[in-house]
Structure 1
Amino acid sequence: MTRRLLATDLDGTIVFDRAVPPAAKQALDRWRAAGNLLVISTGKSIFATDDVLRPSGLQFDYCVCYSGAVITDGAYAVVDASYIPVELVTDIHARLKDLPGVATYATTIDNDYLLSDNAEWVDPILSKFTPLAPEQFAEHRFIGIPMLITDDAERDRIEAMLRTDYAGRFEVHRNQTFLDIVPPGADKGAGLRRLLDGQFGGTAVELWTLGDSWNDIPMHENADHAVCFTYSPDEVKSVCESEVARAEDLIDRLLEETR
């Protein structure tokens, strides 16, 4: 028997203004109650994922977080994780710390840290964090470096610089206002493949993916059925088989098909 698995992004997909709308929450609950699997697939850390989902009470089976660098079960127990060297965090921080319109963060298994802030505003995607001084970097084991960049042209410039100057040393993933640095080979698609191979190696799984933005493209490319939104960028739409206006529209359609 083939099981259906839905891997869904958070921000711009089932999270808006730091909350899961009731209709989306109810649809996701119906999805799992029907015997299907739900995986959260996000660029967020464990800390940030729990922070935004806990108020809704949404339950899920696994989480592919930090853009695929970490896999957890439904209680956030780590199944698999990869890291970046602290020297890289130090170097990136030094290059970005004085740039206007840029806030640089760093994530660990336990927390999200603010390294420098010239953005002068807090994005709801990453709104809770602990300041961390450079002399404290060596005390931590880092997974990712999220960068809030308020200007589109500057975001393009920094992304090009990172890809050129640090080729092969990490992955760079793009969201609407963020760039995320994660360990080499980490993306949402690779994370889902590791999850499926490690946890469902002997089980037939039909993989559906739902996500709105550029960092969702790798998971869409690994799906049996990839779905984005009517408001997604054209690059995302080009790798998906269909579009929906709301997450619950897709879930209701799939559940209706199995009745």
Structure 2
Amino acid sequence: MNKKIIFFDADGTIVKGSNISPLTLEAFKKLKENGHILVLSTGRAIPAIDGILKDMNFGNTICSGGGVVVIGDKIVYSRPMSKESQKELLDYFDKHNVLYNLEANDYIYIKKGYKEKYLRLFQLPDKETVTIEEYNKHKAMLEKVSSRTKEVDDAMEIDINKLHYYAADILYDGGGCPISYDDLERDLGEKYKCVPLSLSKLFAGGEVCEIGVSKKGGMEVILKHYKVNKEDIYAIGDDYNDIEMLEYATTSIAMGNAPKQVKDMCDYVTDDVDNDGFYHAMKHFGLI
């Protein structure tokens, strides 16, 4: 079998929460045994690639939605946001009182005084409703998120790759997010790349970055490095920020939990993340 290169999203594609299923782990084991090149392609910033994702040591990572590319342990490409854009976006979201974080290569930054509110997204469940094991897992996740998140007095002093805003009601004391995605598109869509996120109601919101930053751009860096034939490029994802990656790949695969728009533009739709869609897709195409 010719060596293939497989670009895959993280959340909703190979992981749910902080878990990777046994069959997905088996798929990666077989993909490595078959000599394929694996590339984690995620909207997550470098500090948020932790836990099982870090332990997997894929060797190649496109992160921050294409703003940063890592091969081995080395950042080989980085495109931080311009200071002019950074100030305009900070002013916009501050004016509308929308909670956001700023993704950099060392920390996830948040405006001073807002970290405690942000951590509501990862709040611990009631001990009476889950097992001790589940409770401890949630607690470890909360501690991990807290340690990688740093409050900042002056956000203009840091270099960021993108801004991630949140729309979950829990962050707005029952009042709801002050702006809708349609508002964002109307106000910023001509000047910035705005991407909605549909991971869950809790993590609803979106990302804003410079136009031209995309997973496709990260793919081009990786492909130049490995000199892979166009016909040997596979990509699999589940959300709107995967669209450019899926369009660029020769063979595109949508997860069963992907929005209809993503499914409609892909060559193949596999099962959802809860039913080992990644494993079944790799099996379908004879990669494992």
Scaled to the shorter chain, the TM-score interval is 0.7 to 0.9
- Whole-Å Cα distance in 2 between the matches of residues 240 and 104 of structure 1? 31
User: Counterparts in 2 of 1:192-211, with a 5 A limit?
Assistant: 192-196=219-223, 198-201=224-227, 203-205=228-230, 206-211=232-237
Measured after TM superposition, the shift of residue 51 of structure 1 is 4.3
1:247 partnered with 2:278: yes
Q: Where does the alignment leave 5 or more consecutive residues of structure 2 unmatched?
A: 123-140, 170-175, 199-203, 272-276
Which of these residues, 125, 140, 153, is aligned with residue 158 of structure 2?
140
Q: Structure 2: how far apart are the matches of 1:220 and 1:65?
A: 16
User: Mapping of 1:36-115 within 5 angstroms?
Assistant: 36-51=36-51, 53-54=53-54, 57-75=55-73, 77-97=74-94, 102-115=98-111
Residue aligning to 2:11: 11
Query: In the alignment, which of 204, 213, 226 is matched to residue 186 of structure 1?
Result: 213
The alpha-carbon deviation at position 92 of structure 1 amounts to 2.7
How far 1:23 sits from its partner (Å)?
1.9
Conserved 8 A contact 1:3-1:204: no
AA aligned to 1:4 is K
Distance 2:260 2:178 in 1: 17
Tell me the equivalent position of 2:32. Answer: 32
**Aligned mates of 1:32, 1:174 — CA distance in 2:** 33
Tell me by how many angstroms 1:156 deviates: 11
Amino acid at match of 1:232: A
**Cα deviation, residue 243, structure 1:** 1.2
* Structure 1 runs not aligned, ≥5 long: none
Seen in structure 2, the aligned counterparts of structure 1 residues 200 and 131 have a Cα distance that, compared at 3 Å, is closer
Give 3-state SS (helix, strand or coil) of 1:132's partner: strand
User: How far apart, in 2, do the equivalents of 1:52 and 1:160 lie?
Assistant: 35
| Cα distance change, pair 212–258 in 1 and its aligned pair in 2 (3 A) | closer
- Paired residue secondary structure (1:28): helix
Question: CA-to-partner distance for each residue in 1:196-252, whole Å, 9 max, x for gaps?
Answer: 1x3134x42511111111111111111111111222111001111111111111123
Further displaced range: 88-97 or 223-232:
88-97
CA contact (8 A) 1:89 1:106 kept: no
Give the counterpart letter for 2:34 in structure 1. Answer: A
DSSP-derived class of the 2:69 partner:
strand
Contact 1:93-1:104 within 8 A present in 2 as well:
no
Aligned-pair Cα RMSD in Å: 2.8
| In structure 2, distance between residues paired with 1:180 and 1:191 | 17
Give how far 1:174 is off: 2.1
Judge conservation of contact 1:29–1:59 (CA < 8 Å) in 2: no
Identity %: 20
Counterpart position of 1:227? 253
Q: 1:52 to 1:107 in 2, by over 3 A?
A: farther
Q: Tell me, yes or no, if structure 1 residue 171 matches structure 2 residue 193.
A: yes
Give the deviation of 1:13 after TM superposition. Answer: 0.5
